């Protein structure tokens, strides 16, 4: 009987979606017991404390939800910007300092958190754009990384690539999102 109830709960959970235990409890009185049974069977997996997901099944095995789904449920809102290490490496290669997983700019949480077994670097920021742009990535890179893995200062690596950018847009982006050092550097080389 208990197993049947747990599978009824499973039927309400869509594969690839994240669920908060407290929200499930509103509609499912024994959610904590049923989730525990489903965890033991491997039908659901834990994201973090109080968060669970039903994995999508493929011919290659089970897969976790998309990063956006994990992060939005962890933060309980959609006010964040997800940055991938590969986006930075497209600007300048050799950035092993950024290998701690995706960076999440947000207004709530700061620190390294593991969600569904994957590391995320959460950074509280007062302001960030709604979408990732190449000028913003460059400004954020200059703000946060001092040197490439070979020891070359990042600013030296960036200089030859600045011709690819609209100077006005880059300076405006630096003024909106960059620290003073980055703003001064870009003003010096672009004006």
Secondary structure of the chain as H, E, C letters = CHHHHHHHHHHHCCCCCEEEHHHHHHHCCCHHHHHHHHHHHCCCEEEECCEEECCEEECCEEECCCHHHHHHHHHCCCCEEEECHHHHHCCCCCCHHHCCCCEEEECCCCEEEEECCEEEEEEECCCCCCCCCHHHHHHHHHHHCCECCCCCEHHHHHHHHHHHCCHHHHHHHHHHHCCHHHHHHHHHHHC
Instruction: Tell which wins on pLDDT, 2 or 24.
Output: 24
- The stretch 114-128 carries a mean pLDDT of 94
Could you tell me the pLDDT band of residue 184, with boundaries at 50, 70 and 90? very high
Q: Kindly tell me if the per-residue pLDDT of 99 is higher than 50.
A: yes
- Which tens digit of pLDDT belongs to each residue from 9-21? 888 889 999 999 9
Residue 89 CB coordination number (10 Å): 15
**Angstrom distance (rounded) from CA 130 to CA 105:** 10
**Angstrom distance (rounded) from CA 102 to CA 120:** 5
- The pLDDT of residue 86 is 81
- Residue 111 contacts residue 122 (beta carbons within 8 Å): yes
For 2-63, CATH gives 1.10.10
Q: Kindly tell me if the per-residue pLDDT of 174 is higher than 80.
A: yes
- The pLDDT of residue 169 is 96
- The pLDDT of residue 151 is 64
Computed over every residue of the chain, the mean pLDDT equals 88
Q: Kindly tell me if the per-residue pLDDT of 28 is higher than 50.
A: yes
- Which tens digit of pLDDT belongs to each residue from 32-83? 888 898 999 989 999 998 999 999 988 988 899 999 999 999 999 999 999 9
**Angstrom distance (rounded) from CA 178 to CA 162:** 16
Identify which of 10, 35, 13, 31 has the alpha carbon closest to the alpha carbon of residue 22.
Answer: 31
Percentage of residues in the chain having pLDDT higher than 70: 91
pTM above 0.95, yes or no: no
Q: Where are the domains of the chain?
A: 2-63, 67-190
Instruction: Tell which wins on pLDDT, 96 or 106.
Output: 106
- The stretch 146-168 carries a mean pLDDT of 82
- The pLDDT of residue 97 is 54
Could you tell me the pLDDT band of residue 27, with boundaries at 50, 70 and 90? confident
Could you tell me the pLDDT band of residue 95, with boundaries at 50, 70 and 90? low
Could you tell me the pLDDT band of residue 94, with boundaries at 50, 70 and 90? low
């Amino acid at each position: 009987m208990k197993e049947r109830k747990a599978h009824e709960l499973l039927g309400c959970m869509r594969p690839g979606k994240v669920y908060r235990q407290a929200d499930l409890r509103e509609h499912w009185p024994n959610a904590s017991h049923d989730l525990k049974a489903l965890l033991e069977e491997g039908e659901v997996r834990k994201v973090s404390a109080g968060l669970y997901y039903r994995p999508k099944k493929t011919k290659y095995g089970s897969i976790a939800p998309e990063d956006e789904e994990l992060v939005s449920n962890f933060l309980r809102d959609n006010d964040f910007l997800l940055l991938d290490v590969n986006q930075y490496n497209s600007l300048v290669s050799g950035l092993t300092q950024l290998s701690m997983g995706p960076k999440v700019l947000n207004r709530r949480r700061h620190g390294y958190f593991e969600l569904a077994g994957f590391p995320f670097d959460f950074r509280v920021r007062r302001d960030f754009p709604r979408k990732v742009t190449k000028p913003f990535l460059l400004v954020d890179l200059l703000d946060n990384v001092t040197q490439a893995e070979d020891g070359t200062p990042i600013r030296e690596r960036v200089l030859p690539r600045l011709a690819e950018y609209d100077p006005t847009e880059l300076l405006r982006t630096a003024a909106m999102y960059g620290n003073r050092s980055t703003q001064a550097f870009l003003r010096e080389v672009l004006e």
